[in-house]
Structure 1
Amino acid sequence: MITLDAAREMIAVARAKGREMGLKPLSVCVLDAGGNLLAFEREDGASPGRFEIARAKAYGAVMLGMPGSAQMARAEAQAYFMAAVNGAFGGKVVPVPGGVLVLRDGAVVGAVGVTGDTSDNDAAAAVAGIAAAGFEALA
């Protein structure tokens, strides 16, 4: 389980990693294993619509059990599948890197969604936050 303190640490470290990498303002969302919101922060200068993107990256990861990078590969290979998934989940999935699974002892306990820069940079920030909080990341 991801505690609120752990979620806040993931966000703080992901944001710090973004600053270290010189990224654009980030928005970071942490969801539990059921896709429920634990914590979210949007940096100054990030557009207000970033909440939905960060949440959708994390939501797709946790609900499908696959990180955004795998979802993107699946969308490229089988667009109809990801379109159907997005329909099933009410349009709440953004299948690109930046949706990273949070694992504890190999089991999915949640996901982090980061948006604001390139998808690969978003994923790198998420991985840093997850690792700092003592969890495993699957990007």
Structure 2
Amino acid sequence: MPTLDEARAIIAGALAEARRRGAKPLAVIVLDAGGHPVAFEREDGASLFRHDIARAKAFGALGMGSDTRAIAERAAGNPAFFTSVVVASGGNLALSAGGVIVRDLAGAIVGAVGISGDTSDVDEACAIAGIDAAGLNHGANS
């Protein structure tokens, strides 16, 4: 699992990238491979549901074993199935980019990052930047 120090580095790197991009205020969560929160930060001004959306992105990525960008693309071709997955998971899957698998240097899944607050493309780019800043690997096929 990402250590607390690694999770904090992911968040710091993600928020640094967000500020570099002039992004809207973000919520960033890092989950371990079992879906348990390791660390979370919400920037001033991030709206009420951002934590829940960020968590659903990270949890959904873990549950489906894939970054949420790829899940959303698959869902576009099979909406009935993915609607049922969202219902079956109690809403713990957000069908937009910004949930990114975290892998250790050997390639094993150790957790996921979920970000919400800006466009899904910006959320995802910030998640990847955060994982890179922590010296870990990202993505479903890293």
1:48-70, CA deviations, whole angstroms, 9 ceiling, x for partnerless residues?
A: 21100000000000111010111
Aligned positions of 1:1-139 closer than 5 A: 1-104=1-104, 105-138=106-139
Please, which runs of 5 or more residues in structure 1 have no aligned partner? Answer: none
Conservation of the 8 A alpha-carbon contact between 1:34 and 1:63: no
**2: CA distance, partners of 1:106 / 1:3:** 16
State the superposition RMSD in angstroms. Answer: 1.0
Q: Identity, % of aligned pairs?
A: 54
Gapped regions of structure 2 (runs ≥ 5): none
Q: How high is the TM-score relative to the length of structure 2?
A: 0.95
> Partners of 1:115 and 1:91 in 2: how far apart?
15
- The alignment covers a number of residue pairs equal to 139
Q: Deviations over 1:97-121 (max 9, x none)?
A: 0000001122111000011111011
Per-residue displacement from partner, 1:81-137 (whole Å, max 9, x unpaired)? 211111221111102100000011221110000111110110000001001111111
